[in-house]
C-alpha cells in the first residue's frame, strides 16, 4: 500500500470562523431544525441573550426586547453598550470579551469570548449595534466575514446593544423557531432574574418570586401536596414541593442562569442533602427513593468560573464554588440542612404531609419489591438475548459519551418497520426498541402495571427512568409508527403511558413523533419525498411530465436505503408538547377516559377539518 505524502502543504491553520463552521458541534452542540429544545438555533439565541442577562446582573438595563420573524432574530438590551472601539473585535475575535475581567463579570452565564462569535460565524447575516455616550457603532457580517464597518455616528437612541442575525440554512437545515421552546427559555431567564422583563414579540415575561413562580407555573395547584417551600441564600435558591399524582422525581436545576438539563454536581448534592436533612429531622433512616419519590423541585446556584462537561453547559462538572466558599457539595448540604430543617420546625403541618407521603411511598415500594426484583431480572435477561432493544454504540462503549445529546431511541411496531430502521440507522447514536402489537392502555392504572407488563417493563429499563430522569439513556425518544389508524392508536397509547408515569419526559422535551413521507415522486433524474398532499402536488408540478408516484402505506414498505434519508440529517420530528391550559389529569381524562359528549364533539369537529384539507 503506497504511503500518503506528508509535507508542509498538508498543514493548514483555520481562522476562527472556519473552525466554528467546520466543527459547529464543538461550540453549540447538536444542530437540528428547531424541533428539539437543545437544537443549535436555540443555543445561538441563548448566547446572545446571555450577554444581555450579564448586563442586567451588573445593574444595567431591566428590559430585553426579542423579535423573531420567520428566520430573522433581533435581540436588544438597554445595558451599557459594547465599548465602541471594540464592537468588531467582541463579535469576531476569539478570546475577546469582558468576561475575562472578573471585576466586571464575576458569575457570568455567557461563553467566555466565544458566544457571539459562534452566532456570527453560523449566520448568513449578522449585525451588531452598540449605543453609548450618545454615539452608535454598527458592524455587519456574513458567515463571519465583515461586510460593513462604518464609523460611529451621533444618536439620540437609548444606550445598549442590539444584535440581529439569520442562522445559516446550509447548517441548520429546514429550521424554524418554535415559540413554545423560546418561551420556556425566556421564562427560565425571568425566574432566575426577578425584576427583569423580557418582551418577546409583544408578550412580556416577568417574575417577582423566582423559583417559586417556576414551580407554580409548571404545576396545577391541585397537584401540589403542600405550598412550595422557597429558600434563598446569597448564591443559592431552592424550591421544593411534592406532587400528589406524579411517580418519579422532577428537578429544574441552574448554574449561573444556565439550565443544566443533565444535572451535575449541584443537582447530585441537592438530592443527597434532601435525603440527609429529612432523615435527621424525622429521626428515621428512610430509604432515599421513598424520600424523593414524587418530589418536584428547583435549585439555582452561582459559581465562580464554573466548569461544564460540554460546550453547551447542560451538566455541571465543577466541585468548587470559588471565591473562598467550600465545595459545591458542602455548600449545598449546609444550606439545605439549615434552611429546610428550620422551615420544617416552623411549619409542622407541611412536615406532617411530607412524612405521610414518605410513609406511603415506603408502603408502595415494599408491596412492589418482589415484582420490581423479578421485573429487573427479566429486563436484564431480555437485554442479553432479546432483540427488542438494538442499542447504539454510545451505550456499548464504542463511542464517547460527549455525543449523549445526539442519542435517539426509536420505538417501532412490527418486525418489518423495526428491521428497516435498524438497517438504516446511525449505529453510533440511534437505537431501536420493537413493540409487539399494541401497548396496553395504562390510563388510570398504578405504577404496578409498569413492572407486570413486559413491554412497559422493558421500555422503562431501556430508558433507565425508573426513579428519575437523571440517568436517562436517550436524549430523544421517537415514536415511529405507521400514519394509519392503528399507528395513530399506538402513538396515543404510548403518549398515555409516558404522561401517566413519566410526564417529565414530555415536560423536558424528550418525546417526539417521527414524520415519514406519504409519497415518493420521481423521474429518471430526481426523487422527491413528500410529507403531505401539498408537497405531492408541488413535486408533480416540478418533475413534469408524468413522474412515477408511490404511496407509502406503512414504514415496512420503505426500504432501508430510503429510510436512511428520513432518520439522518433530514429527519423530521414533531415534538410532543403539553397544553398549559390543561393539567395532565384533565388531559388524560379527556382523551383516554369515558366517551363523553365533549370528546365526541372534539373528534367530529377535528375530523371535519382533516376531511376538508383532503378535499382541498
CATH value at residue 472: 3.40.50.670
Q: Which of 172-176, 307-311, 343-347, 569-573 has the highest mean pLDDT?
A: 343-347
Domain match, 245 and 156 both: no
pTM above 0.85, yes or no: no
Q: What pLDDT, on a 0 to 100 scale, did the predictor assign at position 614?
A: 40
Reported as a single tens digit per residue, the pLDDT across 524-539 is 889 998 888 899 999 9
Domain count for the chain? 5
Please indicate, yes or no, if residue 440 is contained in any of the structural domains. yes
Domain match, 559 and 600 both: no
Q: What pLDDT, on a 0 to 100 scale, did the predictor assign at position 321?
A: 79
Please indicate, yes or no, if residue 2 is contained in any of the structural domains. no
Domain match, 45 and 102 both: yes
Q: Quick check: 101 pLDDT over 60?
A: no
CB atoms within 10 A of CB 322: 16
Please indicate, yes or no, if residue 285 is contained in any of the structural domains. yes
Domain match, 216 and 117 both: no
Q: Quick check: 554 pLDDT over 70?
A: yes
Domain match, 135 and 223 both: no
pLDDT above 90 covers a percentage of the chain that reads: 40
Helix extents (H) in 247-314 = 265-282, 288-292
Please indicate, yes or no, if residue 373 is contained in any of the structural domains. no
End position of a domain, from candidates 164, 188, 206: 206
Please indicate, yes or no, if residue 10 is contained in any of the structural domains. no
Strand partners, 3: none
CA dihedral 431, 437, 443, 447 (to 10 degrees): -60
Q: What pLDDT, on a 0 to 100 scale, did the predictor assign at position 398?
A: 47
Q: Quick check: 612 pLDDT over 80?
A: no
Q: How much is the average pLDDT of 83-98?
A: 79
Domain match, 483 and 560 both: yes
Domain match, 247 and 104 both: no
Reported as a single tens digit per residue, the pLDDT across 294-326 is 999 999 998 887 777 765 677 788 787 777 778
Contact 372, 451 (CB under 8 A): yes
Q: How much is the average pLDDT of 367-388?
A: 74
Domain match, 529 and 395 both: no
Reported as a single tens digit per residue, the pLDDT across 141-198 is 999 999 999 999 999 999 999 999 999 999 998 899 999 999 999 999 999 999 999 9
Please indicate, yes or no, if residue 38 is contained in any of the structural domains. yes
Strand ranges of the sheet holding 519-522, from the earlier edge strand across to the other edge: 527-530, 519-522, 548-551
Reported as a single tens digit per residue, the pLDDT across 478-494 is 999 887 788 888 888 99
User: Average pLDDT of the chain?
Assistant: 84
Q: How far is CA 340 from CA 156, 227, 249, 333, 391, in A?
A: 51, 14, 18, 10, 42
Query: Angle 609-613-616 (CA atoms, 0-180°, nearest 5)?
Result: 135
Domain that holds residue 570: 386-516+553-578
Please indicate, yes or no, if residue 302 is contained in any of the structural domains. yes
Please indicate, yes or no, if residue 370 is contained in any of the structural domains. no
Q: Half-sphere exposure (CA, 13 Å, Cβ side) for 126?
A: 25
Amino acid at each position: 500500500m503506497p504511503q500518503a505524502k506528508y509535507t508542509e502543504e498538508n498543514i493548514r491553520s483555520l481562522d476562527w470562523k472556519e473552525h466554528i463552521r467546520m466543527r459547529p458541534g464543538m461550540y453549540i452542540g447538536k444542530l437540528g431544525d428547531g424541533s428539539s429544545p437543545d437544537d443549535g438555533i436555540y443555543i445561538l439565541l441563548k448566547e446572545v441573550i446571555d450577554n444581555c442577562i450579564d448586563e442586567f446582573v451588573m445593574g444595567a438595563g431591566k428590559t430585553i426586547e426579542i423579535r423573531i420573524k420567520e428566520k430573522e432574530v433581533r435581540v436588544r438590551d438597554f445595558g451599557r453598550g459594547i465599548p465602541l472601539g471594540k464592537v468588531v473585535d467582541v463579535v469576531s475575535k476569539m478570546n475577546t470579551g469582558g468576561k475575562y475581567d472578573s471585576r466586571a463579570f464575576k458569575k457570568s452565564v455567557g461563553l467566555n469570548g466565544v458566544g457571539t462569535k459562534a452566532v456570527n460565524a453560523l449566520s448568513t447575516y449578522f449585525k451588531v449595534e452598540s449605543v453609548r455616550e450618545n454615539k452608535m457603532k454598527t458592524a455587519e457580517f456574513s458567515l463571519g466575514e465583515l461586510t460593513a464597518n462604518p464609523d460611529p455616528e451621533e444618536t439620540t437612541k437609548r444606550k445598549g446593544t442590539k444584535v440581529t442575525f439569520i442562522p445559516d440554512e446550509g447548517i441548520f437545515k429546514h429550521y424554524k423557531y418554535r415559540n413554545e421552546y423560546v418561551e420556556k427559555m425566556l421564562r427560565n431567564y425571568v425566574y432566575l432574574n426577578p425584576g427583569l422583563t423580557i418582551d418577546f414579540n409583544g408578550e412580556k415575561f416577568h417574575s417577582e418570586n423566582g423559583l417559586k413562580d417556576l414551580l407554580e407555573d409548571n404545576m396545577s395547584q391541585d397537584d401540589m401536596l403542600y405550598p412550595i417551600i422557597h429558600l434563598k441564600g446569597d448564591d443559592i435558591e431552592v424550591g421544593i414541593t411534592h406532587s400528589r399524582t406524579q411517580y418519579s422525581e422532577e428537578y429544574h436545576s441552574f448554574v449561573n442562569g444556565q439550565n443544566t438539563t443533565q444535572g451535575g454536581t449541584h443537582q447530585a448534592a441537592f438530592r443527597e442533602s434532601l435525603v440527609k436533612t429529612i432523615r435527621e429531622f424525622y429521626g428515621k433512616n428512610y430509604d432515599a427513593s421513598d424520600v424523593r419519590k414524587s418530589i418536584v423541585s428547583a435549585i439555582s446556584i452561582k459559581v465562580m468560573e464554573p466548569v461544564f462537561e460540554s460546550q453547551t453547559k447542560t451538566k455541571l462538572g465543577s466541585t468548587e464554588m470559588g471565591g473562598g466558599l467550600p465545595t459545591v457539595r458542602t455548600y449545598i448540604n449546609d444550606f439545605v440542612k439549615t434552611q429546610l430543617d428550620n422551615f420544617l420546625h416552623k411549619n409542622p403541618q407541611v412536615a406532617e404531609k411530607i412524612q405521610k407521603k414518605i410513609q406511603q411511598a415506603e408502603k408502595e415500594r415494599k408491596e412492589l419489591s418482589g415484582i420490581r426484583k423479578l421485573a429487573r431480572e427479566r429486563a436484564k435477561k431480555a437485554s442479553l438475548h432479546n432483540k427488542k432493544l438494538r442499542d447504539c454504540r454510545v451505550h456499548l462503549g464504542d463511542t464517547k459519551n460527549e455525543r449523549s445529546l445526539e442519542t435517539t431511541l426509536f420505538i417501532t411496531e412490527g418486525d418489518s418497520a423495526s428491521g428497516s430502521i435498524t438497517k438504516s440507522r446511525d449505529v453510533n447514536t440511534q437505537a431501536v426498541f420493537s413493540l409487539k402489537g399494541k401497548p396496553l392502555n395504562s390510563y388510570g392504572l398504578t405504577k404496578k402495571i409498569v413492572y407486570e407488563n413486559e413491554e412497559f417493563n422493558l421500555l422503562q429499563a431501556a430508558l433507565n427512568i425508573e426513579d428519575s430522569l437523571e440517568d436517562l439513556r436517550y436524549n430523544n425518544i421517537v415514536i415511529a409508527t405507521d400514519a394509519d389508524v392503528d399507528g395513530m392508536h399506538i402513538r396515543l397509547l404510548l403518549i398515555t403511558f409516558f404522561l401517566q408515569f413519566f410526564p417529565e419526559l414530555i415536560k423536558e422535551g424528550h418525546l417526539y413523533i417521527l414524520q415519514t413521507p406519504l409519497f415518493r415522486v420521481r423521474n429518471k433524474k430526481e426523487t422527491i419525498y413528500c410529507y403531505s398532499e401539498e408537497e405531492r402536488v408541488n413535486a408533480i408540478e416540478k418533475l413534469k411530465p408524468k413522474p412515477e408516484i408511490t404511496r407509502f402505506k406503512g414504514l415496512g414498505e420503505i426500504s432501508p436505503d430510503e429510510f436512511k434519508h428520513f432518520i439522518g440529517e433530514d429527519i423530521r420530528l414533531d415534538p410532543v408538547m403539553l397544553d398549559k391550559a390543561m393539567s395532565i389529569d384533565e388531559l388524560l381524562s379527556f382523551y383516554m377516559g369515558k366517551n363523553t359528549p365533549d370528546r365526541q364533539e372534539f373528534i367530529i369537529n377535528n375530523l371535519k377539518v382533516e376531511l376538508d384539507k383532503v378535499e382541498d
